[in-house]
Chains A and B, each alone.
Chain A
Amino acid sequence: MTKPNSLTIAEAREALRKGDLTSIELTEACLTAIEGAGALNAFVHCTPDMARDMARAADQRIRAGEATAMTGIPVGVKDVFCVKGVPSQAGSRILQGFTPEYESTVTRNLWDAGAVMLGKLNQDEFAMGSTNESSCYGPAVNPWRGPGGTQLTPGGSSGGSAAAVAADLCLGATGTDTGGSIRQPAAFTGTVGLKPTYGRVSRWGVIAYASSLDQAGPMTRTVRDAAIMLGAMASADPQDSTCADLPVPDFEAALTGDIRGKRIGIPREYRVEGLPDAIDALWRRGAEMLRDAGAEIVDISLPHTKYALPAYYVIAPAEASSNLARYDGVRYGYRARLSQGDGITEMYEKTRAEGFGPEVQRRIMIGTYVLSAGFYDAYYNRARKVRALIRRDFDQAFAAGIDSILAPATPSAAFPLGSVDKGDPVQMYLNDVFTVTLNLAGLPGIAVPVGQDAQGLPLGLQLFGRPFEEGDLLNQAQVLERAAGFVAKPDRWW
């Protein structure tokens, strides 16, 4: 029999309802799995007492016949979400010791639905990174290993979430996606990652990186689980004025398996120079699977794709420099030890130099530069104009009758930890080449595991959908998931 912690959310829901399994049994199985997975460094703050209390309450609720789809389901929470009374530091030393006095809307919604909190998950510092190596806790490790047992990155920034879901430490996890931070780690670990439309999920209580791009979403083992979990995470929210005042549809009900007549675009600009053959072949195979299921595959053009990465690396740091100004050593978190005679400016400057890691400092300074007098128009305003053109590319494709767009999720499979030259930030940023466009356009997107490379490492494709049509997107993603039949799991070495 499948171990409880290896069940999908849908399977566990069924077993809980039938009484074949209790939430406390399921939760204990996850806690045991977490305890045995220290080598993955996925969970950074574990909350076993809270988990057991919540599981017992969920079991009562299930017995009383008042369960929702998420009642009794143990989940992990990316460190970037504020959970009341639980350390929440977004992977940064500068938030050392910070214990929120309030709850993020996403986690509040999950707990209200009866989900069980297992703990906080590793991530790149302030969600800035694609390898998890900028975390103050040290990197999370991919449960998939390379040739000869090489340790690989689980991707980032939601690398702890992806590693935990892939290694069966939890049934689902929350992630956030500012430039690909849900979809890239999902692709690197053979899991499913959904970035909803900007505004579908509240950002209240999610420690901010770039507010016009940040969006929280579910990371799960199946598309159906992503539909279930998104339903519990999403809500309108008076606390977040950018959160859409729209009813949350039943995303699971949209999973009909019928995509006949859907027009799926293949954007020629994503066939970039140097795209590995394995990725190109996977992409073609994915298109064939969707065609075989009755979709029409259409070549399309998104002409400004090439400019998404430079536009992103202006806009995101600009917003970060403003958002991260609040970490000043006064109200919460870390404060540097001061020397005799140091004033408030030295306190700010030393606190921020010691509290932020190198990549965060770099992005704050780039953001400061592009917003500074004399450069605002040349960099920031120009990037926002290019962003408008990127969105227009998508609007025109949708207006021409395209329902969704199929593209690779990443330019490679997971690579070894420590292999990216940190002295060459631009090289590092190229990891995000297929993912950032979606954030700039505010659209929903999902990464689905579709195949493996010659080394047996998972490879994913992503589908982009129309705004606020996550149900339709999930339905197409599930057809792709079923056709691909990806069932591989990493061998347990940890």
Chain B
Amino acid sequence: MRMLTACVLSLLVLPSLVSAQATPEVDQAEVRRLGNLVHQMGVGPQSDGVATFLEAMGPPASDADKWFISLMSTRGCVPCLQLKQAFGTDPWLKALADPNDPKKSWSHFNVYDAQDRSQAFRFEKLKIEAYPTILVQPPRSKKYGEPTTVVFQGTYGGDPKQLATDITTAVRRYLAKLSEARSDAPAVAERGVGAEPPWQPAPKIDPVLPVLPSPFTPPVDVVQIPPPLPVTPPPAPTPAPQPVTPAPAPTPEPQPQPHYRPSVRLEAVVVTDADMASDVATETRIREVIQSLRNQRGQHLKVRRVDWQDASTRYPLQRDELPVVLVTNNGRIEDKISAGLLPFVAPTTPTPPATPTEPPGSSVPTLATTGFGASAIAALAILGLTLWRTRRQQTGQPTLLNEAAFQQLLQSLQRLEERKTSPPPPPPATTT
């Protein structure tokens, strides 16, 4: 019985052993057969499936001294696509990185998809708020300092020449600082698999959204490296030579912090869904609403476009209400205009602010436009006082206050009215 079981087991196991022998993990016989060869695969016409083996050749020249230019993009981002194309066509950008000819390119050019989970670990230490973001880093060889250093971080405003100039300026400034530091202290610079992949790889072709190319929107809190140079004051007269005094004790170096542009508290956040392109009418409506908000809240209102994936972690939003325009103040939502309301929100014209020189008769429109508030009371008081004084003057009665005192009183009231009407009125009730 045991013998029979052993035979059956052997018969079951044997075919798998034979098959394992037939398909080795590495075809060593072919490796031995080929001898000394180098085969370049996937290059131009050779990538037609026909194996073309070349003569044995050594590796190419080292490219460890090349700088790194990385483009951080996100899916469905029209400016990102424009910038990618510009790197292949624009002579200013091609001079820095040529994706079509990596061998001749001045730098190593890499494009990273912000949604690609397989690459997210690389940029954990960076603050990236807008796309496309361009990063420039020194070569791996450490010829120009630490290769981890962010020499340039910036966004794309639609002008390739400007971007190229900004990058080269930053690199020059960095090299100047580096050489300064090296001359001061030379040592400082030297010291269960399934059929699906476990992450969502970047799409082979980034679908172009069927929307008009959106104009560049200035985002807030965007890191800019290097920070803009301060305005240099006129040179001070050279002081007379002083006796040398000991230098003050060095203060501890603060922790390195990225330099940010001053944050603007008020901003409009346009939340869209990269997977569902909005139509031209909606895009136009969004622009009108933003213009209207700018008219209401002032032209300094910053606009930022955020994908649903990012926005859903910060704001209480439902996907079915996209696109949404949020008005936030210091991160707090003040107003929310969702897709359902967008077609009904009429662009409003701003109320012209009252000026101290406007006639007292403005009290009625003030009352009508702002309601019965302090400004309306002030305006009515100006009107009443002026009428009362004029009437007393016409009838020859004493006016109680001399001219100077009366003008002072009027000015005080006008100031009060101005102060109350100057801030823009709250937005119309469009909150969903």
Asked if A and B are interacting partners, one says: no
